[in-house]
Structure 1
């Protein structure tokens, strides 16, 4: 039998089959390479996500016309089942950042180096310089915040400074406001370092400077820190600082910062811990209440959370009503202390070396009350602020920070035998730098600069 000749149609069929087989083989090789590459570099997805998206509905203060469900409800973290620590969550990202609640999540292991160290940043106060004073474990720097269903991009210092060109920002509050400011300055020090503008400083009755200013000349960006632990007008009614009796005027903003509202594009308000100090509350000059630590014949006891709500409402109302302010005001929610086996003055300490798993520990009732008071104050003033051209937002860090008992200085914010803030010997309130507090600046970046 003679061999059959190949027809043009049979040759075309053979070429098509061969081509298809080669394509399938190439796809298999590429898939195997991608699988191995992703397995070797677990954090590639985190690094590759563009930081150009910003959270919207979850970080914006809910409109008063919206239902209460629009407010992120973090009143208890115990409803979620405990989650094992895993870095693989970063490879399961399916939700874009702008559609994700960045405030709900867990802490997962992270191999990336911190943004800075105590050798690269000159702004770290000794009180939070845990590396300098020999904190035994530095594991607290090896975790990152993993929101549910998406990734939180790294802080882009160059992009933040560019977005802030020609603008100004004020941090108003207590020593945790200063803690936050120093975190931001340290992260930005990767790109530029500011000059502190030295003036004749006004000293508060507690011995602290009322105002400090930092200027980034290359970007025309100014950052200011105002010491105002109650946000409203408050005076010591006796000569003893520290835990002396305070007169707190709940309906009068502290003029030391409120007089400068229109000078700023962004204002970050914070402060809750000082409200525990013995205080008498006044409105319209009249005594309307006191807290449990204050004795006053004409005053009935008032919940401390009620004073927090009133003070934040007054502060936010002053911002909303100020002519010429068309920027953003952010309320940083309460951050918990982690004293265990005693309080700050009764032998308590914080010696844990790992974060809590979500659901491992119930939210402290006082922390829940304080956060609810802050959210209520924002809701009460949000409508007014929109009419005036200002925008109010919630920088909600409470849930994330509740899980970080390992991130405090403990007794490593001072030389052996020294003290921290006043009579603090063990500090389970402030945060090590670098440390989990750098999350506050990462969230701040997303809220203010990532979308610009």
Structure 2
């Protein structure tokens, strides 16, 4: 058997122009991108984390909690007073009060997301907030979130964008409290943090395919994906968690061999004799279906599952190693870009599987919630590190990263979405008054 790949050069990628390449060529190009960006970043994170000395950092930086927000939450909003509207359709508007933390006040910003430390010359990308068309979206209040989460636990399951999300949450919550590392292992891909004053735990589980998967060769070019098998790295522990936020997308655009019932049923981007060629669409759909099945069968009774939808990347002018970059400094307006191509296909499949699983979960007394962040993030081509990120080694830059998100940056708005969704859905009734610690 011989594995063959052909990756054509993408000459241009203006997001507002008509699509000139076939969907197959586009996916091939982005497959190459993902192989490099996500694999190399993941393999380096643990070595970096071992170099990060939180105690030493705190000695160098004066860290104070923001007590001013407590007054805003002494009267907790009742769920009936929260206006329901489509918070995921809107525009980015200026927010001069942002950001709400910096790279000198939060130790959970890793080098490859630390855009300000490594010389990004503009700062306006941090000074926007999301304005829904029909209502206002309140800025994230860490005290209010922690109060709602008191005595609860939340797991982030998926790829490095999900981990990016949790790091953003830690930085935003630092205005109220710093967490304690209560991880069961030193492996960075499986971290746990506890907020002692609220008995609230957050954890991250690395599972880019959501189902069981294994690397075939040492170079990471081919992955076996078992579409009908649980990934026990997270499913074996998920019963502990009240909330599970799942995500996935970029990794499904790379070369894969699909298995069902322990047998090969097809492959993507390969030329194997007597093996059916299958696109990522089939694998993506089944992987989400299996992950939802896992949550409903082994998850916590009355638990809450949250789908955080796909976050598009923004490479323009080529792929990552052929001049591709993301140098824009302002958000797109909603009429300047649209969801199309594989971005639209990924998003559509996610919503279809979510709705399918939601019906079944309701019968079992489980709650499913949606964070449809795709459109908002599609409008933020200015929010990526691009070349302003480094590996831990001195003077070692990374290739243009238009996949992950700067911290602080647009990804912080996901906390706004999350808190508002929790309040609207009435996940937990809150007292009208609360004395904060």
| TM-score, structure 1 normalization | 0.74
Q: Quote the residue 1:285 is aligned against.
A: 262
- Count the aligned residue pairs: 352
* The structure with more radius of gyration: 1
Q: Which residue is equivalent to 1:112?
A: 97
Shift of 1:389: 1.7
1:360 corresponds in structure 2 to 336
Please point out which of 146, 149, 160 is paired with 1:164.
149
> Which position in structure 1 is the counterpart of 2:420?
446
Q: TM-score, normalised by structure 2?
A: 0.77
Q: Does 1:270 align with 2:255?
A: no
- How much does 1:199 deviate? 3.8
1:222 paired with 2:201, answer yes
Cα drift, residue 108 of structure 1: 0.9
1:208-234 Cα distance to aligned partner (Å, 9 max, x none): x44111111111111100011100000
Which stretch shows the higher mean deviation, 115-124 or 265-274?
Answer: 115-124
- 2:333 & 2:76 partners in 1: Cα distance? 27
Question: 1:23-102 residue pairs with structure 2 within 5 A?
Answer: 52=77, 98-102=83-87
- 1:391-417 CA distance string (max 9 Å, x none): 112110000000000111110011796
What is the alpha-carbon distance in structure 2 between the residues aligned to residue 355 and residue 259 of structure 1? 40
CA separation in 2, counterparts of 1:362 and 1:384?
A: 32
- In structure 1, what is the equivalent of residue 218 of structure 2? 239
Deviation at 1:322, TM superposition (A): 2.4
SS at match of 2:410: coil
Matched, 1:197 2:222: no
RMSD: 2.1
What are the equivalent positions in structure 2 for 1:268-347 lying under 5 Å apart?
A: 268-292=245-269, 294-322=270-298, 324-347=300-323
Asked if 1:138 is matched to 2:116, the reply is no
Distance 1:142 1:51 in 2: 27
Q: Which residue of structure 2 aligns with residue 82 of structure 1?
A: none
Structure 2 distance, partners of 1:409, 1:386, is 40
What is aligned with 2:136?
Answer: 151
Structure 1: how far apart are the matches of 2:91 and 2:82?
16
Query: Which fold has the larger relative contact order, with Cα–Cα distance below 8 Å and residues 6 or more apart in sequence?
Result: 2
* Cα distance in structure 2, aligned partners of 1:211 and 1:323: 18
- Alignment check: 8 A CA contact 2:238 2:299 kept: no
8 Å CA contact 1:51, 1:153 repeated in 2: no
Secondary structure of 1:99's counterpart equals coil
SS, match of residue 437 in structure 1: helix
* Aligned residue in 1 for 2:370: 394
* 5+ residue gaps, structure 1: 1-46, 56-95, 203-208
Change (3 A) 1:260 1:429: same
CA contact (8 A) 1:327 1:391 kept: yes
Give the Å deviation of 1:51.
7.8
Does the aligned pair in 2 maintain the 1:281–1:288 contact within 8 Å? yes
Matching residue of 1:186: 171
User: In 2, are the aligned partners of 1:261 and 1:325 still within 8 Å (CA)?
Assistant: no
